[in-house]
Amino acid sequence: MAMTTGGGGSNMSEINVTPMIDILLVLLIIFMVIVPVTPKGLDALVPQPPKNPTQQQQNDRTIVVQVIYRPNAAPTYKINQDDVAYSDLLPKLTAIYANRAERVMFVKGDDDVRFQYIADIIDIGRAANVDHIGLMTPKIQEGQ
C-alpha cells in the first residue's frame, strides 16, 4: 500500500458546486409552484371617458343598472332611467339582451350602498346571459 503526499507542493483548492446547484434547483421548483397559485380577481370593465369631452355621445345600446341608496331600507333600482323593482330585474334584463349581439352591462352604485347589493346585480346580469359586466365609478362620471 502506497500513499502519495501530493506532487508539486502547491495547494489546490476547488469549490464543490454540487450542493449549490442542488439548492438552486430546489428554489427554482419552489418558485415554479408558487407563481401559478396567485389569486385572480374579478375582471371588471370600466367605461372610458369620451376622447372629445364637448361631444355628447348618447348610445341607446348602453345599459346601466343603477343601485340607489335609501337609508334604513332596501335600495331602489333603475335600468338606464326607468325605475324597476328588484323582482323584475332578471326578466327585464333577459328581455333586453335576448336579441343583442353585444352583451355589455354597467353597474352604478351610490357611495353608501353596501357591496352586497352590487354583487346581487352582477349575479342577476350573469343569469341574464350578459357577457361583460362593468362597474361605473364616480371618477369616470365626473369626466363626462
And the C-alpha cell for 91?
326578466
Say if CB 59 and CB 144 are below 8 A apart.
no
Tens digit of pLDDT for each residue in 10-56?
677 787 888 889 999 999 999 888 876 666 666 666 666 667 655 44
Asked whether the CA dihedral 69, 73, 77, 82 is positive or negative, the reply is: negative
Provide the β-strand partners of residue 104. 132
Residue 133 burial (C-beta neighbours within 10 Å; 0-12, 13-18, 19+): buried
Q: Kindly give the pairing relationship between strand 82-84 and strand 76-79.
A: antiparallel
Tell me what pLDDT residue 16 has: 81
Tell me if 97 sits within 8 A of 131, measured CB to CB: no
Domain ranges, ordered by start, for the chain: 63-143
Using a cut of 0.75, tell me whether the model's pTM lies above it.
no
Residue 58 in this model has a pLDDT that exceeds 80: no
Residues 6+ apart with CB under 8 A from 93: 63, 65, 79, 105, 124, 125, 128, 130
| Class at the top of the CATH hierarchy for domain 63-143 | alpha beta
